[in-house]
Amino acid sequence: MTFVVPFDGSGLAEAALVRAAEFSTVLDERVLAVAVIPKNNTGYARERGWIGESESFDRQSVVATLHQQVTDLVPAVDFQHEVIDKYAPVGAITNRIRRVTREVDASMVFVGSENAGRMVTGLGSVGSAVTAQDDYDVVIVRNRAPSKIAKLKNANPIDERSDFYVTDG
């Protein structure tokens, strides 16, 4: 079984990753951070801070940045990125995350979302759609604190860092 964390680099995604790692320590489960990247979508990447204002979109650079962010927080976590079409329809990110949760037989999904726990329907966020599945338990992280994110960033030894991430071919 696996704990899955949809990861976009946001503060709440970081908090969800830390919570998953904390649960993992107790329950001895693998943690997989999953980033879904729209192909060549410069605007989307800039909105999320994956690239700077003057940078052009480079998927390998975006993947490396997200992977680094994940392993800075939790060095031993696995990281996987998925690529979708630049103009993918609404729900494509959610559908890809759901597919990954099925493929890895997720036992829990840790979602960082300000909205997912307040309303089950009517939201446009990835969190609300992922939490609607009943194939796995869901932990909704709506608050960055209390968190050990800063402590983990500074305390984890580099030699235990995972260098694993799945490429799309």
**Stated pTM of the model:** 0.76
Residue 154 has a pLDDT of: 55
Name the more confident of 88 and 45: 45
Q: Which residues are 165's β-sheet partners?
A: 79
Domains for the chain: give ranges and CATH numbers: 2-166 (3.40.50.620)
Complete edge-to-edge strand list for the sheet that includes strand 137-141: 137-141, 106-112, 2-6, 30-38, 78-84, 165-166
Q: What is the pLDDT of residues 85-138, one digit of tens each?
A: 998 887 899 999 999 999 999 999 999 876 554 444 444 455 555 555 566 678
Main-chain dihedrals φ then ψ at residue 71, nearest 5 degrees: -75, -20
At residue 60, does pLDDT exceed 80? yes
3-state secondary structure of 116: coil
The position carrying tokens 């976590």 is 77
C-alpha triplet 159, 77, 27: angle, nearest 5°: 115
C-alpha distances out from residue 53 to 33, 49, 58, 60, Å: 26, 9, 13, 17
C-alpha triplet 11, 14, 20: angle, nearest 5°: 145
What is the C-alpha to C-alpha distance for residues 10 and 18, in angstroms, rounded to an integer? 13
At residue 161, does pLDDT exceed 90? no
Name the more confident of 145 and 167: 145
Q: What percent of the chain has pLDDT over 70?
A: 71
Residue 166 has a pLDDT of: 58
Residue 89 has a pLDDT of: 85
What value does the CA radius of gyration of the chain take, rounded to a whole number of Å?
15
At residue 147, does pLDDT exceed 90? no
pLDDT band at 43 (very low <50, low <70, confident <90, very high): very high
- Average pLDDT value for the chain: 82
Detail the DSSP E strand segments found in the chain. Answer: 2-6, 30-38, 78-84, 106-112, 137-141, 165-166
Asked if residues 162 and 71 have their Cβ atoms less than 8 Å apart, the reply is yes
